[in-house]
Amino acid sequence: MSGRGFQNPHGMKQTSLSDIWEDLNTGIRHAYSRQNMPKARYMELHTHVYNYCTSVQQQDGQTHRISKSSKSNPSGGARFVGFELYKKIEEFLIAHLDTLKPECQDMVDEPLLQFYCKVWEEYRFSSRVLHGICNYLNRHWVKREHDEGHMNVYEVYSLALLTWKNCMFEVLHQKLSSAVLKLIERERNGETINTLLISEIVRCSVELDICIDSAPSKVPHLSVYKKFFEIPFLEDTEHFYITESAVFLDNNPVTEYMKKVGSRLLEEERRVSVYLHESTQDELAKCCERVLIGNYLERFYVEFLNLLKNDKTDDLGRMYLLVSRTEKGMLELRDRFEKHVLAQGIASVERNHETALNDLYFNGFFWL
């Protein structure tokens, strides 16, 4: 590291960005090279940033504040130099991710997911190290920018995630989504898959949402997750079950279909708990209930009367649980049940009335 510096009018040694960037850049590259960093080296890099930031604040003996008019011309004090360091870090992150793109440009399906999850986890860990190195920049310069209303400035870890989103995720999201959906379809068809790959992709998309919002107390809006994963996932789910249900009912009775539906609903609930985001649960349930139950209510109603006549209590219970998941399905089922009871009651009265008349006729004839 160069020892260059200068004295300000107050006798304090000043540190310019050129004094620290060569060594700081080397240290950041080390952090992103998947090698361990000794604590002493980490502290040295942290001190570079600290000395630089505090030096900037002392150049004219006071802390510089940024007005809206100075945003486009950051030539005065802390914003200029803080912004310069911030941009250097952003440029490094972009250049680093550009070196990863050629490695995966021809990858698809599971190999792509494996590569993406591996480099994402490594990048995420390294970015946390960089975040710690830039702790003083985060707590002072970034905070001051937010106080001045410049919300497009992020803490270093969030900046790293946003850079990943722009440079990697948005480039690969279509192939990632396709690969994940293929894995899920294979699982639905009875294959064993690596669910950790899917859960890692989901966690990544959720974290990319959180990084956009600089206030950690806010509930993440999940726009990345919903747009790039949940929406195509639900569309794929609907198409899959439309096809499967039609084929199954063409070859099996309604009673077997109800067992199949019950099994599929449990599978989808487990799917959410294992590797999807919990916010998907309600929409996934609605999709499955609409396709697997709502589309076949008339078939259920017809079978309902057969089950009543044959006293199939297990199947009736299974039908009740399924139909009760639809919005108005139980109203029709209840109406048909009442009509059935009424018809049975009338039939019973008529049978008893006929029996009574026969008994009366027989007894009268006997006494005659």
Distance CA 91, CA 157 (A): 14
Question: b/e map of 139-162 (b: 16 or more CB within 10 Å)?
Answer: ebbbebbeebeeeebbbbbbbbbb
What are the C-alpha distances in Å from 34 to residues 119, 127, 129, 339? 10, 11, 11, 72
Predicted pLDDT of residue 107: 96
Helix, strand, or coil (residue 14): strand
| pLDDT tens digits, one per residue of 68-126 | 344 444 444 444 457 889 999 999 999 999 999 999 989 999 999 999 999 999 999 99
If we measure between CA atoms, which residue out of 293, 287, 344 comes closest to residue 318? Answer: 293
Q: Which has more pLDDT, 210 or 155?
A: 155
Q: Which has more pLDDT, 332 or 267?
A: 267
Residue 15 pLDDT greater than 90, yes or no: no
If we measure between CA atoms, which residue out of 287, 302, 293 comes closest to residue 333? Answer: 302
Predicted pLDDT of residue 165: 95
What is the mean pLDDT of the segment spanning 25-30? 96
Confidence of residue 212 (pLDDT cuts 50, 70, 90): low
38 Cβ contact partners less than 8 Å away, ≥ 6 residues apart: none
Confidence of residue 342 (pLDDT cuts 50, 70, 90): low
Asked if 179 contacts 110 with a C-beta cutoff of 8 angstroms, the reply is yes
Of 77-86, 125-134, 221-230, 249-258, where does mean pLDDT reach its minimum?
77-86
Predicted pLDDT of residue 343: 60
Predicted pLDDT of residue 77: 43
Distance CA 204, CA 291 (A): 30
Confidence of residue 180 (pLDDT cuts 50, 70, 90): very high
Predicted pLDDT of residue 368: 43
What is the mean pLDDT of the segment spanning 38-62? 79
Sign of CA dihedral 129, 133, 139, 140: negative
13 bridge partner residues: 7
Helix, strand, or coil (residue 6): strand
User: Residue 270 corresponds to which amino acid?
Assistant: R
- Helix 109-133 to helix 170-188 angle (10° resolution) is 130
137 Cβ contact partners less than 8 Å away, ≥ 6 residues apart: 49, 53, 82, 85, 86, 156
- Say what the pTM is: 0.81
What is the mean pLDDT of the segment spanning 242-250? 97
Alpha helices in 134-194 (DSSP H): 135-136, 143-147, 156-164, 170-188
- Helix 39-57 to helix 17-31 angle (10° resolution) is 150
What does the DSSP assignment read for 66-80? Answer: --GGGTT---STHHH
Alpha helices in the chain (DSSP H): 17-31, 39-57, 78-104, 109-133, 135-136, 143-147, 156-164, 170-188, 195-212, 223-225, 231-251, 254-275, 280-292, 297-309, 313-323, 329-367
Residue 17 pLDDT greater than 70, yes or no: yes
